Amino acid sequence: MRKEELRVLIIICLGSFFHVQSFGSINVSLPAIQKEFGAGLAAIQWVGMMGVVMLSSLSLCFGRAGDLIGRKKIFKMGLALYALGAGLAAFSASFPQLLFFRSVMAVGLAMAAPMAAAIIASTSSPETRGRALGMLASAMAVGRTTGPTIGGFILYLWDWRAVFVANCLFGTATCVTLFGLLKGKEERRREPFDFWGALFLMIGYPSVLIGLSLGAKSGWESAEISLWFALAAAGLASFVWRESRAEIPLMNLSYFSNLSLSTAISSFALASAVQQPIPIFGPLYMQNVLRSSPLAVGLVMATLPLATVVFSPLSGRLADRVDSRWVAALGLGFVFLGIIFYARLGVDSTHLRVALALAFLGAGIGLFIPANQKVAFSAVHSQDYGVLSAMLTSFGTATGTLGTTVAVALAEASRRTRDIEDAAGFAYDQQFAFSSLLPLAAIAVLITLQSFSIAK
């Protein structure tokens, strides 16, 4: 790996680590925020949900903007905006004010997150691209592991405002490093931006996520939920119509005619839908069924991202030496096994069994993501790396939210068939939900293997 490639890799990994760990540290502070402002559960969830909504709905817009005016520029601006929003949020005088500043942070996240993989893919050579993407995935996994711990430690010493202050200070230091070292002119493309496509997308995509979020809590039959889904259908249908006719679309629909690319995107979407519910169900299962202490829950749940940290660099090295699709398929196989093990957890399971299931999932994610990203980036021209990275980010976020909503709905449906709620009942509900999701993991493995067979 050349010196310039290594320098860019280290800087981008630092920035990605920052926004991922801050996400976890802020989520830990939600109970304290709720207590100070007296906000209801429906309101407080938006402090966490804001990032998901913005990330899934704005990523494509900023991905396209990065391809036009410069990915490094968008990445630096995004992290600076995120740090600024964190600093302002620390001094919020009311909950609406906090929510507004959190939305500023979320816009910054939507700018920076899709650019990381695109920058690394465009600056690294094909021979070392897998290794570089593996290091990025590992840095983000470290952020997911340490975020709640850092947030909890700050809360122990001070209060929730200190969490935002710490994110502002660390973000500012990261930005200074980025602006000082991530230099060099980027080629600008004189092409129009598809504002109509962006508008339709920003109407449709958030409406889907809002409908899914509210429907799981308030019921799917309400008029409010029907309205959100109708708005989502209108927005997304208009987006597809616009993209099929625009001279230079926000998202080129012809991408999906490429077998390697469509396989990479669809398998990533399926894997996200299957594994994203784990961080929600895992702690609840260990607390309600196994009666684990908070410390034990934290240590066992850390198994998943730690396994990802270990296996992501290995995936990158393998992807540089053999066909990346085989490595991606191997990772999906581990995810499939992890879901099988997790779906079999019951009232008599031990912490070791839970950790084993999470370790298989973490190893699978670590093996799959860098190799799958290399497959995807190899399928398009380098000038479109920003849009492609944004597509992966957006689709992964949206399907992860959908998978979590479906898992919760399945567990709720299972619970309604019983008259009492107990530990055994929760374990059974969880088994039912993840057993139902298991075919999605199997399909992801099959379509990845099938694409390899067709290509041969």
User: Residue 392, exposed/middle/buried by CB under 10 A (0-12, 13-18, 19+)?
Assistant: buried
Residues 24 and 159 in one domain: yes
**Res 420: pLDDT:** 54
Residues 58 and 177 in one domain: yes
**Res 333: pLDDT:** 92
Among candidate residues 188, 217, 238, the one where a domain is terminated: 188
Among candidate residues 167, 188, 209, the one where a domain is terminated: 188
CA distance 202 to 198: 6
Q: DSSP per residue over 425-451, as a string? A: HHHHHHHHHHHHHHHHHHHHHHHHHHH
Q: What is the CA radius of gyration of the chain?
A: 21
Residues 255 and 243 in one domain: no
Tell me the per-residue pLDDT of 242-254, one tens digit each, with 9 for 90 and over: 888 877 777 777 7
Q: DSSP per residue over 359-389, as a string? A: HHHHHHHHHHHHHHHHHHHHTS-GGGHHHHH
The whole domain housing 226 covers 194-249
Q: Domain total for the chain? A: 3
Tell me the per-residue pLDDT of 31-48, one tens digit each, with 9 for 90 and over: 777 777 776 655 666 776
Residues 58 and 181 in one domain: yes
Residues 372 and 451 in one domain: yes
In total, the chain counts a number of residues equal to 456
Nearest to 398 by CA among 240, 248, 211: 211
CA distance 411 to 21: 29
Higher pLDDT, 54 or 203: 203
CA distances from 196 to 76, 131, 200, 447 (A): 26, 38, 6, 33
Residues 177 and 227 in one domain: no
- Tell me the whole-structure pTM to 2 decimals: 0.81
Would you say residue 119 has pLDDT above 70?
A: yes
Backbone angles phi, psi at 182, to 5 degrees: -90, 75
Average pLDDT estimate for 91-109:
87
**Res 2: pLDDT:** 67
Tell me the per-residue pLDDT of 351-391, one tens digit each, with 9 for 90 and over: 899 999 999 999 999 999 888 888 888 887 877 788 788 88
Residues 231 and 168 in one domain: no
Tell me the per-residue pLDDT of 126-165, one tens digit each, with 9 for 90 and over: 778 888 888 888 888 888 778 777 777 787 788 888 888 8
Residues 161 and 226 in one domain: no
Q: Cα 407 vs. chain centroid, distance in angstroms?
A: 17
Would you say residue 452 has pLDDT above 90?
A: no
Is residue 436 a contact partner of residue 409, using CB atoms and an 8 Å limit?
A: no
Tell me the per-residue pLDDT of 252-301, one tens digit each, with 9 for 90 and over: 777 777 788 888 888 888 998 898 888 878 887 887 788 877 677 778 88
Tell me the per-residue pLDDT of 208-227, one tens digit each, with 9 for 90 and over: 777 776 765 666 677 778 88
Tell me the per-residue pLDDT of 5-18, one tens digit each, with 9 for 90 and over: 777 788 888 888 87
Residue with token string 């099929």: 244
**Res 336: pLDDT:** 93
Residues 244 and 255 in one domain: no
- Per-residue burial over 89-124, b if 16 or more Cβ lie within 10 Å, else e, is bbebeebeebbebbbbbbbbbbbbbbbbbbbbbbbb
Domain of 58: which CATH number? 1.20.1250.20
Residues 180 and 318 in one domain: no
Residues 120 and 264 in one domain: no
Residues 222 and 105 in one domain: no
Would you say residue 55 has pLDDT above 80?
A: no
Tell me the per-residue pLDDT of 386-432, one tens digit each, with 9 for 90 and over: 878 888 888 888 788 788 878 887 887 777 666 556 667 778 888 88
